[in-house]
Structures are given as structure tokens and as C-alpha cells.
Amino acid sequence: MPHLIPDKTDVLVVGAGLAGAVAAARASRGGQHVLLVDRLEEVAVGRKVCGNGLADEGMAAAAEYTRPIAGAEIAWRIEGGRVVLRDGETTIPIPKSGAVLNRYVLGQRLLSDAVEAGATFCPGCSCAGWSDRDSLRVRLDLSDGERVEVTARVVIDASGYRAVLTRAGGTLRRETPAREDVGIGYREIVPLTEPIPEPRTVIVDLTCKGLSGGYAWIFPMGERLANIGIGATLHSAGPDLRAAYRSFLAGYPDIHASDPIESGAGLLPLRRPLVTMVGDGFMTAGDAGCQTNPLHGGGIAPGIIGGGMAGDVASRALSEGDTSAEALWSYNTAFMKEVGARHAGHDFLRRFIFSLSDDEFDFLTLELAGSHALLKALSEGGSRPQLKRAFRALARAAKRPGLVTRFLRAGRLAEEIQELYYDYPASPARLDSWIGRVEFASKALERLTN
């Protein structure tokens, strides 16, 4: 193992998950010497607690940075889905097709792509932090107990939620997610003794009792296999997420689950991206850069996009002989425009939703479902009973105008923050003034939610 690790390299990528593997592959194809390390052994790379769902547009976006997801990487095709609201009866359709992925097979393929592109992969190699941030020297602990140090011209932190180097001052601004901005999930992949009732439909269920802000999911992976899990935030999760999972599953007697093939829990950031994901000679990608979707925690496509962008920008900067934060800045602007702006808007909506009481949340979700039903009934020439139900929902909304007004204001603030991220500064010199504008919008949201 030690002879595989050079003292110096062009690019050091910490973490061989989706973001790290894609970053390593792109930088290697750009002609750079890349060292890719991961604390897991090679056979374990690609395993992660995740719903593994990806809509078709997400797969198309990911294909801009790696080979299209196909074959055994797709466990099962999905035609759509539904969200079950907390009354347990009302549902909102999810009119999106996509797939539930075999995340492990995809992770192993992306790792192979990186190695085939020329990256040196060192498994069983944990990042212990900076030895010297200024000279980009990093401490690595090997599985045999030996500690080595590597100096790189560019370091990319893709170490997941741990964000080992990012949180230790890698970027120009330090940020650590608050407890309410950290998601925790428990998931099982379970064989089914009977065919699943809706084999091409994903279910997102908000009926989780005693789990404020939580939700559960059932994602078919075949007629007799499913990815089932439950998630919440560290701020709201109870002491036993597994017990909440079992309680949720008991509410679906048509799902005949046997002993799980896989089970486990994991953490992920649920917030908009870091205000900057670069520093001198440094970049952060995937969960380490808070690139997951704040509403539902989806991070597959954003991680691949972030890793691909980071690898490309790092390679270009090295070729031009300038790896300063300013030279790497285009990574920030590109990611914010393609992904980050949308996530920032979602983050504002999530923060508003978490500020609601259970009663307010139930009211709003039912009212929104009724509004959707009204639009659908009118556009399709719905029956009289359909129209009656829809108009009753609007009548309920009229009884709580203050709450509806707050919701509409939150929507406008989400649009404002999204526009701010589209207008992300073109250089570090404008960062402070931009952060001031973001903080002003955040204060407006705080006033609305307090």
C-alpha cells in the first residue's frame, strides 16, 4: 500500500463516492496526475444509505459528466409516484418518470472509470486532516496503522458529510451545518414475499407520527424487491429511527417484507450549497460541499455534476499554472447556476415548512392538494364531485388568509434567493457584498417564520 502513495501529486481527491470518482476521472482525462483515496476498501466503495431514486432529467444532467447510467446500474424503471399527505388519504401525484438505481454497481463503475482514466486509487486510506493548509499538505492514515503525508497542487474534498478538509478551513469561508440542516435516514433493501402492489410507482409518505418534518419512502427495485426508508433532521429525529421505520412499514400491510439484504443509517446536509466551495488550491464537492437537494436529500445527480465540474476546473487551472481561489472560482459560478440556485430556493421553502406547527402544515398541504385538484378538474372538464372537493379546499384556504399570505411571501423570498444565486459573484472580490444580500433575504425569512 505505501508505495502506491506518492509524496506529491497534481490533484488529491479525498473520497471515492460519486462526486470524488467523477472528479478524479475528469481531472485525469485532463492530463493531471490524480491520487484518489477512500477510507473504505475497494469492494465497499459505492455503498451508501440512500433512496437511490433518480428522475430522467437527473440522469440526463449526470450524463454530461460521465457515461450514461445504464444496464445493471438501473435496478428498476419508474413511471411516476405519489406523495401521501399526513391525513393518510390525500395524495399528490409525482408526474415524473425515472429509475431506482443500483447505487453500488454505479459506484463501482465510476471508480473503474477513474482508474481507467489514469487515477491512482488507494483504498483503506483515511484523511486525518491538514498537515499544512498553506502548502496543501494532507495527512493520510493507512489501514495498517501507518500515517503518510501528501502534497498536492489542488485538493478536492469529496469526503461526504464528514467534510474533513472543508470544515477545517479549506474554503474561503468556514460553514458548518446546524442540527436542523442535517438529515438522518434509516433504510433497508428488502425482498418481498408477494409482488409489490404498485411496481412502477414510488411512494413518499408524510404520515410519520411523532417525527416532525420527517418522511418515509417506498421505492420499488423490482416486483419483489424494494428500497424502503425513513428520514428526518437531527433536530427533529426521535431516539429510535428504526422503531419509527417499523411503525411506518406496519401501516402498509400489502408490503410483505422479509429480512433485509441491506440496512443502515446515514447523515447528509439539508441546506443550500456553501457560500463558496473553493479556496486557494482547494475545492469541495458532493455532500462535503452541501450539494444535496435540501427538500428531499437527493444527491446523486448534484454530486456527479459537482464532481465533474470540480475535476474540469482543477485540470484547466493546473494547465494554466494558476490554482488560486480566483482561478478556481468558475467552479462556484457554474455550479450555482446549474444546481445551486434551485437548491437555494428549495432551502428557503424547507425552512418555512419546518417553522409551521403540525396543524398549519396539515392545513397547507391539504389546501395545496385541493388547489391542484381544482386546476386538474377545470383543465380536464372534471366531474361535479371533483369540482366540489376542489372548491371546498379553496374555501378552507379563505378561512386562514394569514397563513396563506405567509406561504405566498415565503414563495416570493424563495424566488428572490434563487435569483441571488443565479447572480453569484464572478470573482472573490464581490463575495462579501453578495453574502450581505443573502443574509438580508435570510433575515426576512426569519421574521416571517418567528
**Are both 367 and 331 inside the same structural domain?**
no
**Are both 243 and 227 inside the same structural domain?**
yes
**Are both 28 and 147 inside the same structural domain?**
yes
The mean per-residue pLDDT over the stretch 50-79 comes to: 97
User: Is residue 91 a part of any domain in this protein?
Assistant: no
- Do residues 87 and 366 touch, judged by C-beta distance below 8 A? yes
For the segment 89-119, what is each residue's pLDDT rounded down to a tens digit? Answer: 888 888 999 999 999 999 999 999 999 999 9
**Are both 6 and 35 inside the same structural domain?**
yes
**Are both 286 and 360 inside the same structural domain?**
no
- Do residues 276 and 284 touch, judged by C-beta distance below 8 A? no
Q: Is the pTM of this model over 0.85?
A: yes
**Are both 378 and 292 inside the same structural domain?**
no
**Are both 275 and 265 inside the same structural domain?**
no
**Are both 129 and 235 inside the same structural domain?**
no
- Residue 339, all three cell numbers: 444546481
- In 3D, which of 446, 444, 416, 449 has the Cα closest to residue 345? 416
pLDDT of 1 strictly over 50: no
Domain termination site, one of 269, 289, 319: 269
DSSP E strands, 278-429 = 278-279, 282-284
Helix (H) or strand (E) holding 81: strand 80-84
**Are both 324 and 421 inside the same structural domain?**
no
pLDDT band of 255, cuts 50, 70, 90: very high
Q: Which residue reads 472543508 in cell numbers?
A: 166
Residue 253 maps to which CATH number?
A: 3.30.9.10
- Looking at the structure of the chain, the number of domains it has is 3
Contacts of 2 (CB under 8 A, 6+ apart): 142, 146, 148
> Range of 360's domain?
350-449
pLDDT of 232 strictly over 90: no
For the segment 319-332, what is each residue's pLDDT rounded down to a tens digit? Answer: 999 999 999 999 99
pLDDT of 19 strictly over 70: yes
**Are both 331 and 442 inside the same structural domain?**
no
Mean pLDDT across the chain: 91
Domain termination site, one of 248, 269, 290: 269
User: Is residue 84 a part of any domain in this protein?
Assistant: no
